[in-house]
Amino acid sequence: MQYLVASGVPSTQLPPGCQLVAGSQMMSFEEPWSFGEPLIARLADGTNLDALKTIVGADAFLVEGILEPGQGQAFCIGAHMMRDPEGFKPYAAGVPDVIKNYGCRYIARGGKVTPVTGSFVPDRAVLMEFPTADEAVRFYFSDAYAPLLKIRLRTTDPRFVLMARSGQLPDSALGVIATKLRARG
């Protein structure tokens, strides 16, 4: 099972065999997601992705999946360029125990990342599904996650994006994100 993470690709231009999982309003929590609005699609076996290579400005990579998408209304993409793989290990070991308290399901976690097109290909990618955007925000800004986040920010060139399955992110989540990011400076 594979998931496509693509930016600069309209959902209407996804090749046959791609099932859109999420591709609506997004918000970046860390380094800017400067690659355009992302989308996540589940690929059917044998999907031909050559058409994506002809879309000017497209960035796309594949990540190995571990679960089918469920009914969650919010998805997060954690995409990292690793600076200190050894230093990152405590983060990778500790985060599952914290994130489960927020209803998270990993649909892809640290599997092989394969470039399709464009310039952004992370060393590691994680796709997380949350029941709601508010739960994802509560997780990210929680006291329980704070020490792990410090490890992640120190050991990677991080990207963390929250996106709605469809439609807009709720004002409640956007408000908390804006307030917390302003306070972080």
Q: Which residues does 22 contact at the CB level (< 8 Å), separation at least 6?
A: 39, 40, 74, 75, 163, 164, 165, 166
Q: What is the CATH number of the domain that holds 88?
A: 3.30.70.100
Least confident of 101-105, 149-153, 174-178: 174-178
Structural domains of the chain, count: 1
The Cα 145–Cα 39 span in angstroms is: 25
**pLDDT-derived band of residue 180, with 50, 70 and 90 as boundaries?**
confident
Residue-number span of the structural domain to which 116 is assigned: 2-184
Reply yes or no on whether the pLDDT at 31 is more than 80: no
**Span 138-159, average pLDDT:** 95
